[in-house]
Structure 1
Amino acid sequence: MSEINTSSTQLNDEDLQDLVASTDTGGRTPDNKNIVKLMAAVALAWSVFQIWIASPLPFVFGWGVFSSGEARSVHLGFAIFLAFLAYPAFSGSSRHKIPLTDWALAIIACLCALYPLIADASLIQSIFGTRLSDRPGAPNTYDIIVSITGMLVLLEATRRALGPPLMVVAIVFLAYTFLGPIAPELIAWKGSTLGGVMNHQWLFSEGVFGIALGVSTDLVFLFVLFGALLDRAGAGNYFIKVAFSLMGHFRGGPAKAAVVASGMTGLISGSSIANVVTTGTFTIPMMKRVGFSAEKAGAVEVASSVNGQIMPPVMGAAAFLMVEYVNIPYFEVVKSAFLPAIISYIALVYIVHLEAMKLNMQGLTREGEQKTIKDVLISWAMTLLPIIALAGGAYYLSEIYKALATSSARLATVLAIIAIQYVVFKSFKAKASEDKVAKTISTGAIILGNTIIGAFGLFFLIDLLKTHVSGDMVFAVITILILAVYIILAKISSAYPDLVMDDPNSPVVSMPETGPTVKSGLHFLLPVVVLIWCLMIERKSPGLSAFYATMLMIFILITQRYLFAFFRKSATSGMFKLGFEELTDGLITGARNMISIAIATAAAGIIVGAVSQTGVGLKLAALVEFLSMGHIMLILLWTGILSLILGMGLPTTANYIVVSSLLAPVIVSLGQQNGLIVPLIAVHMFVFYFGIMADVTPPVGLASFAAAAISGGDPIKTGFVAFFYSLRTALLPFLFIFNTDLLLMDVSFMEGVFIFVIATMAMLIFTAGTQGFFISRSKLWESGLLILIAFTLFRPGFWMDYVVPPYDERPGTELTRSMAEVDPGSQLRLLVDGQNDVGDPVTLTMVVNVPEGNTGEERVENYGLELLTQEDGSIMVDGITFDSPAEKAGFDFDQIIIDVGVPEDRPAKQWFFIPALLLLAFIIRRQRNRRDEQSRVENQMA
């Protein structure tokens, strides 16, 4: 990978694009046009292959059906071939010529990647008498030679595409599989033969061709391709312009626009570095223009761009990996990730606001008039409320619709919404002409109500089609309706001028108007709506959802220029040809964007394979337990530190794969031993959130270097400021480990709304405490109290546990009686003595969901436990029913139940919000008085 310039020299646009290419798509641009065409043709073929295997067409025609293992081989074959052609060997290597050695390596690497597919073909069996699948665990000489060669070229491709760190980590784990007998006693193992390692790592789906590469093949490629097509259609510039039209007039407006624009482009981009360059090229110079230093301007862009990786639905490919590792539906991953991501972005906007307040910055002006926040609220209501209702509330709206089982109930709900709209409108009509806040409330109520009514109408239409149209025709009818909506939106958008990409170094004459800017690209939102609908409402698989959205994007790219020209009554000749050219460019770009991701997942598979083959995870658990002395908070701190250390060299996806494979089970098991039941999704989110700091953390945060290259600031200082801005992101993982409500686990719609409001408030208060500025500059003790208030709002149960213990502790002998006393569905907490996987004694905490039953004995039996009273009176687990709740909870034979915790009736933990809010009111009053006093002094001096 090319070296990053650490000087503070500001780069031009060509240099910035080269920076993105060197880190994301490969830095080579050969002079030979035929080679360029060949590379483009291979990338195009890769995209077509991925679309083909994602579509239902292979099964319709009965041809071209690839198994998962076969598709992974082809996927890696394309990626590794392009990697050697696109990425030079060294920073000093030619960027315009491909040496013969790289051609040779590309061909050899591609053949090695395809070897599991080739060696298992019927033709091989007819020639050699045996296929690869016929000799599992018994590789022959050819298998071993090809596997060794494949591992070596993959490591070299990893070094080129991702830098030395991931390659070095993979080599260390590979070496450990061979040198296990001479390793330190704590991590020693028996070792493996060369054939055993190669068989495990290359020939079957345990190592390189394991889950990580499978996710890259089946899911990630389509989402990355969807983002590339959307960007090629013009959506990237559209999102930036919309963000500026919404936020540009606030204090520090360009910085707030950078946050919003990066969040919107983060939905379609899996690369924080590309996000920095795409949006930062425009936002960073404007931030500097309104008063931000070069380092702070770069840091804001870095923090907001890196956060794009935590935004569903793509999440830097981690969302799809979580589906496989945690074994939960993709929808649940997105639901868990949504709230923390939104809160994190809101907090970043607030950080920018506080910085602007400190320096008394002003926003960019339109027609010589400084806009206030009240002036822009209407624009926010008109544009964001429907988006939030459809994106964030799509699932809940569908659930409410389903809960209204009859047509009359649905009609009554719609009429009630109309009535509420009318009442709100009448109440604020008199004030609306003069009071902008009143106009915002009435307009917002109308728009939000219309959005809900529109969603209900859409649900009703789909239900009607499914009921009265034959199954084979439903898809065709819905497709026709979507295309009709697209044509209508294209007609609306064509009435406004195309959004031209601005020159960031030229003076800003005027800011874009919100209404025309939003309307000029409405058709870009349709594929996003289709994707969200398929994922959230229809609950289709992520791969199929992305396929449908991608096919719609392909159609839009081909036709949008023709339709715009047709509706504008201008020349339409050549527009389809231009559309096909843009489509081809988008398909090529999408494949080029995937090279480093595919290589990263394959290389990370080496590490995962070594962990599964050696069992080092159990040994690491013992090491972490020793270092943390059994304290869950220290375990989390060590995990976070390890993630940050690995994050200094590994890309986010690889970092997540490695750390989650090593430490996620450790946190769950050690938490269980310390009385904390941690859901697996919370642990994986914890690891992932620390992993995204990879592109921020000095001294090698590549996003910080990219931002510094634009701003002309110091890259190390930019990285430290960005890391400080990202503290809110580092706080969230600790919070949702101890308060899983933030992940929207087992909460209702109204509970989710309440959690969102309280958590957002707490995060803003925490941000004010860490920034040292709230209403005015905070004193040190005020900052400390603000952080304490934020903690109380985030986790009020911490204080309630001290006032009233959550459980009535009873001896284990009273399990049956306790089961009989509580209501079905209640949770008992058991303390159990048993053994871990290596036979060492361990004490575990188990949560028992009490089943139905008339007696305690019947409930114990329904739960799946068979208990035995021993001679000393203790209760031992004597048997577990197969596939019972007890087996799924982790109960095992011969465990001793030593303690039963029965839930206590106690006051709601939210009572602690009252003293926290009173303390907040006290600080607000003090700071307001201090601010007013400072204003009076300044006025007198003036």
Structure 2
Amino acid sequence: MSTSNNMSQKEMEDLIAKYDKESAVRQYVGPMKWITFCLLVLFAVYQLSYTLFLTLPPQIHRPIHLAFGLGLIYLLYAGRSKKGSEQKVGIINIILALLSVFVSLYWVIDYENLVLRTGNYTTLDMFVGGAAILLVLEAARRVVGWPITIIASLFLLYTYFGPYMPGFLEHRGSTVPRIIGHTYFTLEGILGTPLAVSSTFIFLFVLFGAFLEKTGVGQYFNDLSLVIAGRRIGGPAKVAVFSSALQGTISGSSVANVVTSGSFTIPMMKRLGYRPEFAGAVEAAASTGGQIMPPIMGAAAFLMAEFVGVPYLEIVKAAALPALLYFTGIWIMTHFEAKRLGLRGLKKEEMPDKKEVLKKSYLLLPILVIIGALMLNFTPERAAIIGIISCVIVGAFRKETRMSVTDILEAFASGSKIALGVVAATACAGIIVGTVTLTGIGLKLANGLIDLAGGQLFLTLFFTMIASLILGMGTPTTANYIITSTIAAPALVQLGVPVVAAHMFTFYFGIVADITPPVALAAFAASGIAKSKPMRTGVESTRLAIAAFMAPYIFVVSPALLLIDTTLFGSIWVMFTSVMGMIGVGAGLIGYWMAKLNPLERILSVAGGLLAVIPGTMTDAIGLALLALVFAFSYYKNRKENQLGQLPS
């Protein structure tokens, strides 16, 4: 099925650009179009070359990666929104692009001397380092937005004004030369771990996603979802859930997910009888869930592996069951809403041809190949390369998906363009990480959070949740995770929470900020398609994503959900009770199970669901008993209504 019947390609691009700054690139014509295209292709070629055969020290590779990223950002992203500016680069932006390349390659030009004079920098070094910091902040503002730029700037100010800070935030402070030196001329600031991950794992997986799109897998996800879920009760809503889960495996943006799949699922939901706010909320909640869906997780999986210090595959395994629980929760609530409203599935004529869709199932092979390579202990970089090659091979199976040289070059350019947002976010986040190591503010904030909660784990979790929601507002996935994990996760680790669970906790709530008012970008993008009230759509999205608010508390209290220190039976039992709990909570919030629930039944259903979700033999037993009771009443009412409906009038 084509999206053209619902939204034109131009309308989709405009909507994505409105709510996702990373997509708001200039649309050049003429020579500038080809110059930027060639630079984007060259960026991808360099990254592939580095992975395959180049051997460079990090002080040379990361600045080259940064040079490509910053230079292209200033050529492709406008400093301010102005009518007609999308086709004009402007002399100032050209100067900024060239200056970005110079300050980045300064490391390459003077590598040996910079290493030798560590801590004893020249005036030119200070100029270059200061310019690099400002250029990174401005690039992040253009591509990622104000939140991360403001936070990074405040951290820099905090580093300088340490002696004047109140209470536990006070520290001895740092001079400007020391701040610049630490931030740009060490591997603990801009060129630190976040940019290292961007310049290796993330870029290659983003490129893999671009090649998948070229083979037509994005549209295939939509068609496959229709075949699997379209005929079911409330079909289009379940299509949105299934499609968004699949789109999340290759996409790094909640907003892009919303517009890509929502452009056809939301109109279908409205035609079927769903309220506009509910239709938009289903797509927003499901698309946001794509960012917690392994193996990519909006590129945060790679960052988390580096920050936590565990193999990438361990992060993927830990994220699997919570992601499944999240989408199960949304599926359950859309099902109950459809039953409550009496909504049907799609008609046969509204569906794509099942045989044709199944014939194209080979398009999923690259995803299976890359997962298989990871399970065989290939490095993520090698697995990504194998995945890219498999895309080209699999695409050659049929004429309509066969990739020409032009298609391959366009995939290179598309992957590089998508990666620019990650470059800006990780470079800017490096400033935050650098100031944390220089001042020790991470430990100070952790202690402050614990003191505020009186040392109580639950209160600390609650305050961490609020902090992560606020810090994640309006921030793309990669930057979101870096900020929340740096500022909020240490407090949980201090209280004995396993480090993976602590990082996953802050990551989840940072992501949920995309659908949590007042700055719910994914929900607002969905409301633009649904023609619904944005704030009400955000509230509905939050209600549907209740699993995202429950799952983190479950896996902190019971890490078995993350497959940490558990048996197979232990993980299955936690997943079973959590799903049953989600059914109870979903039924209570919607007000329907086998039949309409009265207020008391709704309260009992929610209470039973919450108790089933809380790990523990007693809570599981009471919760499951309450759910069985509510189900029995609901089943009895349903049978009675059916019998009455069958009586002759």
Question: Normalised by the shorter chain, which TM-score bucket?
Answer: over 0.9
Q: Work out whether 1:523 is the aligned partner of 2:362.
A: yes
Aligned to 1:744: 563
Q: Distance in 2 between matches of 1:649 and 1:796?
A: 33
Q: Secondary structure at the match of 2:517?
A: coil
Q: Secondary structure at the match of 2:100?
A: helix
- Residue from 19, 23, 29 that aligns with 1:32: 29
Aligned to 1:607: 432
Q: Work out whether 1:76 is the aligned partner of 2:66.
A: yes
Q: Work out whether 1:53 is the aligned partner of 2:65.
A: no
Q: Which 10-residue stretch deviates more, 615-624 or 247-256?
A: 615-624
Task: Give the partner amino acid of 1:517.
Answer: V
- Residue from 241, 246, 265 that aligns with 1:259: 241
Q: Summarize the alignment of residues 503-514 of structure 1 with structure 2, pairs less than 5 Å apart.
A: 509-514=349-354
- Structure 1, residues 405-447: CA drift from partner, whole Å, max 9, x if none? xxxxxxxxxxxxxxxxxxxxxxxxxxxxxxxxxxxxxxxxxxx
Tell me if structure 2 keeps the 8 A contact 1:252–1:361.
Answer: yes
Tell me if structure 2 keeps the 8 A contact 1:167–1:603.
Answer: yes
Query: How far is the alpha carbon of 1:220 from its aligned partner?
Result: 0.7
Q: Distance in 1 between matches of 2:128 and 2:393?
A: 42
Tell me if structure 1 keeps the 8 A contact 2:75–2:93.
Answer: yes
Task: Give the partner amino acid of 2:14.
Answer: D
Query: Identity over aligned residues, as a percent?
Result: 36
Query: How far is the alpha carbon of 1:561 from its aligned partner?
Result: 4.8
Aligned to 2:11: 15
- Structure 1, residues 680-704: CA drift from partner, whole Å, max 9, x if none? 0000110000011232122322222
Q: Work out whether 1:923 is the aligned partner of 2:634.
A: no
Aligned to 1:581: 406
Q: Secondary structure at the match of 2:488?
A: helix
- Structure 1, residues 868-902: CA drift from partner, whole Å, max 9, x if none? xxxxxxxxxxxxxxxxxxxxxxxxxxxxxxxxxxx
Q: Work out whether 1:553 is the aligned partner of 2:391.
A: yes
- Residue from 76, 88, 99 that aligns with 1:97: 88
Task: Give the partner amino acid of 1:516.
Answer: E
Aligned to 1:777: 596
Q: Which 10-residue stretch deviates more, 355-364 or 523-532?
A: 523-532
Q: 1:175 to 1:84 in 2, by over 3 A?
A: same
Aligned to 2:326: 344
Using the size of structure 1 for normalisation, the TM-score is: 0.66
Q: Secondary structure at the match of 2:87?
A: coil
Task: Give the partner amino acid of 2:411.
Answer: G
Q: Distance in 1 between matches of 2:29 and 2:68?
A: 21
Q: Distance in 2 between matches of 1:939 and 1:933?
A: 10
Question: What residue ranges of structure 2 are gaps of 5+ in the alignment?
Answer: 1-5
Query: How far is the alpha carbon of 1:516 from its aligned partner?
Result: 3.4
Q: Which has the higher helix share?
A: 2
Q: Distance in 1 between matches of 2:80 and 2:575?
A: 48
Q: Distance in 1 between matches of 2:21 and 2:474?
A: 15
Query: How far is the alpha carbon of 1:582 from its aligned partner?
Result: 1.4
Tell me if structure 2 keeps the 8 A contact 1:351–1:767.
Answer: yes
Tell me if structure 2 keeps the 8 A contact 1:560–1:579.
Answer: no
Aligned to 2:231: 249
Aligned to 1:542: 380
Q: Distance in 2 between matches of 1:582 and 1:689?
A: 36
Q: 1:53 to 1:150 in 2, by over 3 A?
A: same
Q: Secondary structure at the match of 1:322?
A: helix
Aligned to 2:109: 118
Query: How far is the alpha carbon of 1:937 from its aligned partner?
Result: 5.8
Q: Distance in 1 between matches of 2:56 and 2:15?
A: 36
Tell me if structure 2 keeps the 8 A contact 1:26–1:87.
Answer: no
Tell me if structure 2 keeps the 8 A contact 1:24–1:593.
Answer: no
Q: Distance in 1 between matches of 2:608 and 2:69?
A: 50
Tell me if structure 2 keeps the 8 A contact 1:248–1:364.
Answer: yes
Task: Give the partner amino acid of 2:445.
Answer: L
Query: How far is the alpha carbon of 1:514 from its aligned partner?
Result: 3.2
Aligned to 2:272: 290
Aligned-residue CA RMSD (Å) = 2.1
- Structure 1, residues 116-144: CA drift from partner, whole Å, max 9, x if none? 232205xxxxxxxxx10001122211111
Q: 1:657 to 1:163 in 2, by over 3 A?
A: same
Task: Give the partner amino acid of 1:527.
Answer: P
Q: Work out whether 1:628 is the aligned partner of 2:467.
A: no
Q: Distance in 2 between matches of 1:119 and 1:295?
A: 57
Question: What residue ranges of structure 1 are gaps of 5+ in the alignment?
Answer: 1-9, 59-63, 122-130, 367-508, 566-574, 672-676, 798-908
Q: Distance in 2 between matches of 1:657 and 1:914?
A: 39
Q: Work out whether 1:729 is the aligned partner of 2:548.
A: yes
Task: Give the partner amino acid of 1:602.
Answer: A
Q: 1:24 to 1:225 in 2, by over 3 A?
A: farther
Task: Give the partner amino acid of 1:16.
Answer: M
Q: Secondary structure at the match of 1:346?
A: helix
Q: Distance in 2 between matches of 1:716 and 1:248?
A: 28
Q: Distance in 2 between matches of 1:940 and 1:102?
A: 77
Q: Distance in 1 between matches of 2:577 and 2:450?
A: 34
Q: Summarize the alignment of residues 612-761 of structure 1 with structure 2, pairs less than 5 Å apart.
A: 612-669=437-494, 671=495, 677-761=496-580
Task: Give the partner amino acid of 2:516.
Answer: T
Q: Distance in 2 between matches of 1:299 and 1:683?
A: 28
Tell me if structure 1 keeps the 8 A contact 2:472–2:484.
Answer: no
Q: Secondary structure at the match of 1:137?
A: coil
Q: Work out whether 1:184 is the aligned partner of 2:166.
A: yes
Q: Distance in 1 between matches of 2:140 and 2:624?
A: 52
Query: How far is the alpha carbon of 1:101 from its aligned partner?
Result: 0.6
- Structure 1, residues 810-849: CA drift from partner, whole Å, max 9, x if none? xxxxxxxxxxxxxxxxxxxxxxxxxxxxxxxxxxxxxxxx
Q: 1:795 to 1:295 in 2, by over 3 A?
A: closer
Q: Work out whether 1:134 is the aligned partner of 2:116.
A: yes
Q: Secondary structure at the match of 2:513?
A: helix
- Residue from 83, 108, 115 that aligns with 2:99: 108
Using CA pairs below 8 Å that are at least 6 residues apart, which structure has the higher relative contact order? Answer: 2
Q: 1:912 to 1:158 in 2, by over 3 A?
A: closer
Q: Distance in 2 between matches of 1:288 and 1:13?
A: 21
Q: Distance in 2 between matches of 1:260 and 1:290?
A: 18
Q: Distance in 2 between matches of 1:337 and 1:116?
A: 37
Q: Distance in 2 between matches of 1:605 and 1:167?
A: 12
- Residue from 251, 272, 283 that aligns with 1:301: 283
Using the size of structure 2 for normalisation, the TM-score is: 0.94
Q: Secondary structure at the match of 1:700?
A: coil
Task: Give the partner amino acid of 1:554.
Answer: V
Task: Give the partner amino acid of 2:105.
Answer: L
Q: Distance in 1 between matches of 2:14 and 2:620?
A: 52
Q: 1:299 to 1:935 in 2, by over 3 A?
A: same
- Structure 1, residues 709-742: CA drift from partner, whole Å, max 9, x if none? 2121122221221122112111100110001111
Task: Give the partner amino acid of 1:585.
Answer: E
Aligned to 2:77: 87
Aligned to 1:435: none
The number of residue pairs the alignment matches comes to: 642
Query: How far is the alpha carbon of 1:933 from its aligned partner?
Result: 4.0
Tell me if structure 2 keeps the 8 A contact 1:180–1:189.
Answer: yes
Q: Distance in 1 between matches of 2:570 and 2:354?
A: 33
Aligned to 1:457: none
Q: 1:588 to 1:779 in 2, by over 3 A?
A: same
